[in-house]
Amino acid sequence: MCITLTFGACNITKELRSSQALLYNGSKVKITGEKRKDVKAPIPDLVKQTPNKRFLGITKLKLRFYYLGLRSPDTKIGALLMDKFGEPPVLLDTAFIESSVKSMRAYLHSVGFYYPEITYKVKQHRLRAFVTYYINTNQVYHINKYRINCADRDLYDLIKSTEKESVFTSGYRLNNERLLQEEKRIVTLLRNHGYYSFNNDYISFDVDTAFNNWTVDVALNIQNRGMYEPHQKYYVKNVNINIEPISDSINNTNTDTIKSKTFNYIPNSYKLNASILEQNTFLNPGSEFVQNKVNRTYQRLGDLNLFKLITVNATTYTLNDTPMVDYGVRLIPNIKYDYTIEPQAIISDQNNSFTEQSRTGNYGVAAIVTFNSRNSFRNAELFKLSFRTSVEVQGKANTARWFNATEQSLTAGLTFPRLVAFPKLDRNINFINTKTTFTTSAIYELNANFERRVATAGIIYQINKKNTSYYFTPFEISFTKNSINSHVLLSLIKNDIYLYNMFSNNLILGGRMGLVYTNKEITKTKHYIYLRFDALEISGNTATIINKLIDKKLNATGNYNIFDVNYSQFAKTAIDFRFNKRIDPNNFYVFRVYSGVGIPYGNSPKFLPFERRFWVGGANSLRAWLPRSLGPGSSYQPGQIDYSGDIKLEANAEFRFNMYHKWLEGAVFADAGNVWMSKLDVNRTGAEFDFNRFYKEFGVGSGYGVRLNFDIILIRFDLAIPIYDPSSSLSNPWVVKDFSGKWVYNNVNLTFGIGYPF
């Protein structure tokens, strides 16, 4: 009844006949001419009028609601339909068309197309209007010569010396963005060489198009401060740092000034060593003014996480005919201690997957309590203590308890705002910040099948540059101890070497290094990339070398051990690359490629430790499969439990689009990937990686997703089905050939997640 009322009760154009107005039904742009592909993407965004939104890309649902309410506008239901659920009709307005043409012409002029031809045509059908814009870009102007006009010889020589960095190179296209880039470059250059008072007002450009050959000469003009007054360099004289008192109490305030090598420091009873401020401020008395040093000082002091407000004020004056700058740095401390309590609901398919019974999902509740202490030892350290407790229902485990699993974890970290033992690197102005973190944790996990205890400790060095974060962990230790509670699982382990390895006590002694890069925050378009490169992780090499040097004897299994525990020896690398392409404000393509390889050798030549193995499936991987339910390779055995591997290849593609307002989004996606063993597996046919067949062993799935985007949180539901299953027990891995209602019901996989999958 409701569906009939909504979609069939009214004809949209019928409501317009009384006024003979035209309903604006959208537009398209056809572009011809030189370099048309370069302007194809931004031009449609310049159309000023937007048609009524469509629901699911088909019907203008909000417009239909509006007309339903319009039939009885004085009633509550009518007003509700019109104001809350409806949207008034967007009528064709020629003023918007002319404004769109004007904007297109201005944009094309700004990117070098000085004489474009722009026309439009309105097509009318049943009181609906569709506008087509026709653009012929004609030829574009390119740069012929670039010259500098500057009366000040010092400035001229400085700018000329960096001319290779200019965006004005012969043969490049002329556009306004290049003019702005060059203006910004010149201002930055001069302010980083002492010219404190220099700004954009002293820069202008002359563009000469009189050659009639579609080339231009560009002249950069640098004006003096006055008719004959050249720009002067400024020098830093005094730096005063003042930490505001935490309390207004006189007894709590100490106004004594501490004189360091580079500044005067008034701590006002705030116990912070002056050496920390010296390390993170780059305002050196006697040196030239450098804007980049001021910017980096702001960033470094902010990254200390000690102050809720930071201001750096400059005072200029002349001393003995030399322009000077005095800096006043004002710091307002943050609170020293704070804590947070975060309740959680656990609804996840990413469980331990050690038994078939536990692979149906996790449901439960958890809470995380976090305590932070700033400036713990007067050197801007951050001490963080976090405790997490959870109780869960894991699948269909045979137990009398409703909550059949629990996990308790305690994590402690102490972060120093510097590279401990590498002080010279800390003063590199190209680094946004540097950090060293000492971390340790303990985890206790108990469910119906096993009991696990994990203890870890490590040191992490981190260097952050503009778009890239580098990390290096020279030392990391992880000890895992397992106890089996299930007689069924214990019997399986005795007959399965893979499960035996999974549940064996294990020791990891190693280190790792890598980087994370993204240009999401700086890119001028909505296209951006994300790259995580875990370049290398190695474990066990140092322990093996020491054992051989001291001629330690091997144990009964032919391995070295430490405190009667075998340690793992392996090398591992992985790369995760993502590309986000914007079509328009409501439509995006997102692609991801993941590749990882781990090689066990030496003291553990057959297996990677379970925590370092790869797997596919689940809400953020191949969504047509449950987690750890595909692979390795094309192998499959009845009752198989271990699906992990040493090698992983995965690719994902997703088209994301807005369905209703900004909070309801949709997605169509496809996933492909698998894991393989790095070495021949005599017990499982097709499990090892083989260049001659690996491309035939990708699991392929596809599906549709709905996302509720509430800005602070995104809730995701994805429905996916397998299309190609390399481990299918059927003769044909193209399982989708059996597509039917019953087949879909038996094979569809619903996943739930928080945030985008990638």
Boundary residue ending a domain (136, 168, 193): 136
Q: Counting Cβ atoms within 10 Å, is residue 74 exposed (0-12), middle (13-18) or buried (19+)?
A: exposed
Residue 496 lies in a domain: no
Do 110 and 178 share a structural domain? no
Residue 692 lies in a domain: no
Q: Rounded CA gap, 659 and 665, in Å? A: 5
CB 242 within 8 A of CB 328: yes
pLDDT of residue 442: 96
Do 193 and 100 share a structural domain? no
Do 214 and 288 share a structural domain? no
Do 244 and 216 share a structural domain? no
CB 395 within 8 A of CB 357: yes
Do 103 and 26 share a structural domain? yes
Q: Rounded CA gap, 353 and 346, in Å? A: 16
Q: Average pLDDT of 172-201? A: 91
> Among 235, 200, 224, which residue's Cα sits nearest to residue 316?
235
pLDDT of residue 323: 95
Which neighbouring-strand residues pair with 594?
576, 650
Residue 382 lies in a domain: no
For 683-703, the pLDDT digits (tens) are: 788 889 999 999 999 999 999
Do 251 and 167 share a structural domain? no
Among 376-390, 539-553, 634-648, the minimum mean pLDDT is found in: 634-648
What do you get for the CA distance between the two ends of the chain, in Å? Answer: 40
pLDDT of residue 384: 96
Q: How confident is the model at residue 239 (pLDDT cuts 50, 70, 90)?
A: very high
DSSP code per residue over 5-48: HHHHS--TGGGGTTTT--EEEEEEEEEESTTHHHHTTTGGGG--
Boundary residue ending a domain (222, 252, 270): 222
Q: Average pLDDT of 236-243? A: 95
pLDDT of residue 9: 37
Q: Rounded CA gap, 600 and 561, in Å? A: 16
Among 216-230, 378-392, 564-578, the minimum mean pLDDT is found in: 216-230
Distances (CA, A) of 117 to 102, 122, 587: 11, 17, 29
pLDDT of residue 289: 96
Do 146 and 121 share a structural domain? no
Q: Average pLDDT of 527-549? A: 92
When mean pLDDT is compared over 57-61, 341-345, 704-708, the highest value belongs to: 704-708
Do 184 and 105 share a structural domain? no
Residue 560 lies in a domain: no
Q: How confident is the model at residue 651 (pLDDT cuts 50, 70, 90)?
A: very high
Boundary residue ending a domain (136, 153, 168): 136
Q: What is the DSSP letter of 85?
A: I
* Full domain range(s) for residue 189: 142-222
Q: How confident is the model at residue 238 (pLDDT cuts 50, 70, 90)?
A: very high
Exposure string for 575-604, b = 16+ CB within 10 A, e = fewer: ebebebbeeeeeebebebebbbbbebebbb
Residue 214 lies in a domain: yes
For 240-297, the pLDDT digits (tens) are: 999 988 765 445 455 678 888 889 999 988 999 999 999 899 999 999 999 999 999 9
pLDDT of residue 590: 94
pLDDT exceeding 90 applies to what percent of the chain? 42
Do 166 and 96 share a structural domain? no
CB 643 within 8 A of CB 629: yes
pLDDT of residue 597: 97
Q: Domain tally for the chain?
A: 3
Place of tokens 């299994």: 557
pLDDT of residue 637: 79
**How many C-beta neighbours within 10 Å does residue 231 have?**
21
Q: Which residue has the higher pLDDT, 249 or 597?
A: 597
Q: Average pLDDT of 645-661? A: 90
Place of tokens 């220099």: 198
pLDDT of residue 14: 56
Q: With 90 as the cut, is the pLDDT of residue 19 above it?
A: no
Residue 13 lies in a domain: yes
Q: Average pLDDT of 743-750? A: 81
Does residue 236 come out as left (phi exceeding 0), alpha (psi in the -120 to 50 range) or beta?
beta
pLDDT of residue 394: 66
Do 124 and 7 share a structural domain? yes
Q: How confident is the model at residue 3 (pLDDT cuts 50, 70, 90)?
A: very low
Q: Rounded CA gap, 145 and 157, in Å? A: 18
The length of the chain is 758
Q: How confident is the model at residue 397 (pLDDT cuts 50, 70, 90)?
A: very low
Do 10 and 114 share a structural domain? yes
Residue 580 lies in a domain: no
Do 199 and 164 share a structural domain? yes
For 460-507, the pLDDT digits (tens) are: 999 999 889 999 999 999 999 988 877 777 777 777 777 777 788 889
Q: Average pLDDT of 57-85? A: 75
Residue 206 lies in a domain: yes
Q: Average pLDDT of 612-638? A: 88
pLDDT of residue 422: 87
Q: What is the CATH number of the domain that holds 325?
A: 3.10.20.310
